[in-house]
């Protein structure tokens, strides 16, 4: 035997072995075909191309209808009467279902009408997406409730409920019989036409120009997705011209067209071989009734998914996500120096008293909890007033951003030793015993939360999106879980003094390390000044620099006041108050949000729901980046993935439209869109397929180049599979 033959046999045995093992496991109930729903007219089952699915893959299922002789079911546009088949899915969390991929219909005369549908048998494929987080060994139940109308001279509505038992494994295992049937059905779907048709007025009739059909064809027929376009029972006359074929169509007595392009299918015979093409037709402006709402394809073109990936979190899942997100938030660059300095303080204090270290940890926890309760209260109160906000909402205010920049600069100066507040690291053992040390521990927790607000950690997006849609008591519980996760490392360290022994003994290295940590704070301040420039333009930069200058002057004045006499101290305090008030007034006056273009130079456009709809109508995949200048995770994703040449080349090759929804300044439309997708803050990344009205794929909060390239391919690839389903 050849090496290839051995490999094929080995792979086949491996797949069968996995399937047999899955079937033998206790509790397994796998089925590539559901139980049949049978009536005297239709026998329906649900098929799966997989017995075992793999995390992150897309596979096909199909609703099979075996139709009794003389009876028929219906296409997306049923013609003069009837109702199309509809499928409503109930899927495991994270799974999603695409639209029905409609086969080419037949014209079914029912005198004096003509319906569009199927007789004998039909398979209706649907694509199912498995989430990346699916766990091997997990058993799944895919449930569908389908309704259809079956007609002869009379019509009878029927329905059926179907369940497929599948399992998640390390690799997919196909059911060869079902896979073969579904592949054959998908191969017979109408193929996208390589030309665009044009629909024009022809007297009292309509003319459909088909420039791609240059040679005579037989039995040519047009099936529009719009029900109010043509008389379905009227003859369709084809005329061959030098520019192609023109099909004359009778205008519907209830003619209504609300869009400038229409989808449909043409069927014909070429050299005796049946063909079917899905195509888009540009509509002559004179035919468009701008006052009439667009008549879209019937409901089955969009399948409802009962369990959206991040919209149906349970309370316990949201609490777990919030706690995990809080833990990860500690690793952000502006938070880590604050926490590490606290750990150095613990190391010094541990030489004196373990009880004092525990006290410091608990006070830090109180500071964190207080800050998060204040944030939660603001979110809940503003939500009650009808304002859509999310995590980091306070950074949409330029004065708040400038105040944070000032705080970062002051922390950096303090770390460099320019001035001291309370006990230093060297004297931490003594300072912790004082009231100032206790207040310092509390304020360290509060400050850590403040400097963390520009960041969003993994898991936080889903948890915060859940919180802002819940009653106040549940929202507060989620915020508290986030706070506990955020405070956990410091609190655990304070109660586990043995871990502190891993650090070197206190000495000069602590001073050097403390000074080194000043520079991440200065870097964060620099970034916040840039955020202010995006929000408020040059005026924002001037206000930020003036505020930093005033803060430095105030620190100097306060230092002088400590050693000055009574009258001098009063004068210096009055001067400091005057400087603070003047600087605050200047910041509030200068840091006014500017109406800057949300998109950067190049091919990036500003986002709007209308623009997404227009681009999908053009047949283009759409990538939407919900971002903000103050979102560190957003900026990291841009540097790591979005600006990569491979991503740019892929977007250009697949004609992907890149839209940016910039939430740097408050924007109610963006806040509403975030809430609709189960998020309370940025980042959010959506990839819309090149199919009009199709829902987007939600990408993870942390992007990679490969992830974007693959998502672009999926979005562009959907056009070829579902173009016939466009309204």
Q: Where are the domains of the chain?
A: 29-177, 197-305, 315-590, 604-725
Q: What is the pLDDT of residue 310?
A: 38
568 pLDDT higher than 80: no
Which residues make Cβ contacts (< 8 Å) with residue 521, sequence separation at least 6? 334, 337, 408, 409, 411, 412, 415
Answer yes or no: are the C-beta atoms of 67 and 118 closer than 8 Å.
yes
- Give dist(CA 440, CA 434) in Å, integer: 10
362 has pLDDT over 50 = yes
Give whole-number Cα distances, 509 to 339, 516, 675, in Å. Answer: 17, 10, 48
Of 134-138, 345-349, 522-526, the one with minimum mean pLDDT is 345-349
d(CA 607, CA 605): 6
pLDDT value at residue 298: 40
Residue (of 60, 180, 43, 215) closest to 121 by Cα position: 43
> Residue 68 — very low, low, confident or very high, per pLDDT cuts 50/70/90?
very high
- How many contiguous H segments (helices) and E segments (strands) does the chain have? 19, 27
Please determine, for residue 1, whether its predicted confidence score (pLDDT) is greater than 90: no
Per-residue confidence at 347, pLDDT binned at 50, 70, 90?
low
Q: What is the DSSP letter of 39?
A: -
pLDDT average, residue stretch 440-461: 68
pLDDT of 109 higher than 90: no
Of 165-169, 267-271, 378-382, least confident by mean pLDDT is: 378-382
The predicted pLDDT at position 43 comes to: 93
pLDDT-above-70 percentage for the chain = 72
For 466-518, write each residue's pLDDT tens digit: 666 667 788 788 888 888 888 888 888 777 766 666 665 656 766 777 777 77
Determine the pLDDT at residue 601. Answer: 38
Statement: residue 626 has pLDDT above 70? yes
User: What whole-number distance in Å separates Cα of residue 583 and Cα of residue 576?
Assistant: 10
pLDDT band at 400 (very low <50, low <70, confident <90, very high): confident
Residues in contact with 663: Cβ distance below 8 Å, sequence separation at least 6, in sequence order: 396, 626, 627, 628, 631, 670, 671, 674, 682
Residue 413 has a pLDDT of: 81
Whether pLDDT at 301 is above 50: no
Beta bridge partners of residue 151, listed in sequence order: 72, 155
Res 5 pLDDT > 60: no
Between CA 283 and CA 294 the distance in angstroms is 13
Local confidence band at 718 (pLDDT 50, 70, 90 cut-offs): very low
- Asked whether 76 and 115 are in contact (CB, 8 A), the reply is no
Is 287 within 8 Å of 199 (Cβ atoms)? yes
Q: What percent of the chain has pLDDT over 90?
A: 20
Report, as an integer, the average pLDDT of 693-700: 89
Among 42-46, 138-142, 243-247, 533-537, top mean pLDDT goes to 42-46
Token pair recorded at residue 571: 């004068």
Q: What pTM was computed for the model?
A: 0.41
Residue 341 pLDDT:
65
Looking at residue 499, its pLDDT comes to 66
**Per-residue confidence (pLDDT) for residue 30, from 0 to 100:** 45
* Cα torsion 224, 145, 57, 307: sign: positive
Higher pLDDT, 59 or 487: 59
Average pLDDT over residues 107-136: 89
How far CA 83 is from CA of 5, 63, 151, 245, 246, in Å, comes to: 50, 16, 10, 31, 30
Least confident residue range of 209-213, 224-228, 557-561: 557-561
Same CATH fold, 197-305 and 29-177? Answer: yes
pLDDT score of 74 more than 80: yes
Please write the tens of the pLDDT for every residue from 137-162: 888 889 999 998 888 766 677 889 99
Range picked from 141-155, 313-327, 522-536 for highest mean pLDDT: 141-155
Token couple for 83:
């109702």
pLDDT score for 711:
93
Pick the CATH number of 29-177 from 3.20.20.70, 3.30.70.1430, 2.60.40.1250, 3.30.70.120: 2.60.40.1250
567 vs 406, higher pLDDT: 406
* Summary mean pLDDT of the chain: 76
d(CA 593, CA 9): 67
Q: Which CATH homologous superfamily contains domain 604-725?
A: Glutaredoxin (3.40.30.10)
388-397 residue pLDDT tens: 455 555 566 6
For domain 197-305, give the fold: Immunoglobulin-like (2.60.40)
Across 664-684, average pLDDT: 79
Indicate whether 107 pLDDT > 50: yes
């Amino acid at each position: 035997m050849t090496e290839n033959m051995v490999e094929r046999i080995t792979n086949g045995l491996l797949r069968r072995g996995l399937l047999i093992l899955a079937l033998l496991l206790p509790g397994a109930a796998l089925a590539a075909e559901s139980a049949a729903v049978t009536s005297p007219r239709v026998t329906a089952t649900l098929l799966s191309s997989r017995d075992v699915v793999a995390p992150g893959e897309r596979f096909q299922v199909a609703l099979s209808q075996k139709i009794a002789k003389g009876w028929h079911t219906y296409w997306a546009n049923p013609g003069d009467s009837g109702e199309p088949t509809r499928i409503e899915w109930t899927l495991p969390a994270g799974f999603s279902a695409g639209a029905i991929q409609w086969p080419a219909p037949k014209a079914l005369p029912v005198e004096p009408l003509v319906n569009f549908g199927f007789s004998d048998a039909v398979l209706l494929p649907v694509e199912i997406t498995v989430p990346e987080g699916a766990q091997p060994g997990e058993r799944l139940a895919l449930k569908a409730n389908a309704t259809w109308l079956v007609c002869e001279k009379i019509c009878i509505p029927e329905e059926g409920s179907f369940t497929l038992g599948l399992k998640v494994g390390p690799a997919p295992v196909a059911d060869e019989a079902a896979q073969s049937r579904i592949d054959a059905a998908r191969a017979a779907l109408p193929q996208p036409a390589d030309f665009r048709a044009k629909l024009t007025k022809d007297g009292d009739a309509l003319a459909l120009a088909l420039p791609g059909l240059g040679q005579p064809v037989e039995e040519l027929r047009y099936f529009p997705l719009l029900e109010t376009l043509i008389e379905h029972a009227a003859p369709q006359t084809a005329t061959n011209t030098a520019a192609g074929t023109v099909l004359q169509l009778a205008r519907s007595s209830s003619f209504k067209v609300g869009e400038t392009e229409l989808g449909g299918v043409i069927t014909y015979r070429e050299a005796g071989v049946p063909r079917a093409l899905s195509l888009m037709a540009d509509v002559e402006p004179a035919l468009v009734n701008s006052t009439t709402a667009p008549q879209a394809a019937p409901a089955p073109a969009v399948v409802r998914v009962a369990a959206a990936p991040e919209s149906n979190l349970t309370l316990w899942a949201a609490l777990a996500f919030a706690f995990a997100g809080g833990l990860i938030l500690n690793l952000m660059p502006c938070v880590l120096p604050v926490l590490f300095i606290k750990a150095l303080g613990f190391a010094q204090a541990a030489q004196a008293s373990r009880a004092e270290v525990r006290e410091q940890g608990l006070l830090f926890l109180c500071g964190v909890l207080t800050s998060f309760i204040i944030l939660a209260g603001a979110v809940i109160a503003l939500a009650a007033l009808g304002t859509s906000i999310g995590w980091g909402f306070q950074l949409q205010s330029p004065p708040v951003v400038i105040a944070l920049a000032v705080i970062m600069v002051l922390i950096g100066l303090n770390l460099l030793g320019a001035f001291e507040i309370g006990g230093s690291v060297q004297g931490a053992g003594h300072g912790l015993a004082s009231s100032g040390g206790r207040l310092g521990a509390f304020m360290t927790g509060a400050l850590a939360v403040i400097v963390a607000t520009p960041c969003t950690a993994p898991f936080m997006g889903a948890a915060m999106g859940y919180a802002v849609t819940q009653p106040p008591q549940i929202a507060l519980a989620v915020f508290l879980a986030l706070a506990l996760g955020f405070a956990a490392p410091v609190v655990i360290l304070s109660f586990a003094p043995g871990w502190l022994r891993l650090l070197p003994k206190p000495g000069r290295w602590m001073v050097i390390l403390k000074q080194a940590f000043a520079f991440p704070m200065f870097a964060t301040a620099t970034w916040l000044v840039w955020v202010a420039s995006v929000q408020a333009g040059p005026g924002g930069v001037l206000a930020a620099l003036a505020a930093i200058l005033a803060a430095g002057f105030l620190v100097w004045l306060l230092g002088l006041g400590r050693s000055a006499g009574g009258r001098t101290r009063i004068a210096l305090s009055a001067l400091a108050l005057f400087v603070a008030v003047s600087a605050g007034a200047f910041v509030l006056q200068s840091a006014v949000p500017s109406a800057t273009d949300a998109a950067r130079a190049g091919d990036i456009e500003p986002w709007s729901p209308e623009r997404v709809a227009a681009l999908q109508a053009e047949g283009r995949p759409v990538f939407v980046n919900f971002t903000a200048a103050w979102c560190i995770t957003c900026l990291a994703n841009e540097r790591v993935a979005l600006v990569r040449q491979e991503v740019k080349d892929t977007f250009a090759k697949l004609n992907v439209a890149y839209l940016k929804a910039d939430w740097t300044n408050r924007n109610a439309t963006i806040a509403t869109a975030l809430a609709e997708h189960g998020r309370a803050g940025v980042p959010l990344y959506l990839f819309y397929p090149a199919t009009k009205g199709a829902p987007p794929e939600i990408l993870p909060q942390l992007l990679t180049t490969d992830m974007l390239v693959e998502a672009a391919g999926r979005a562009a690839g959907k056009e070829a599979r579902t173009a016939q389903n466009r309204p």
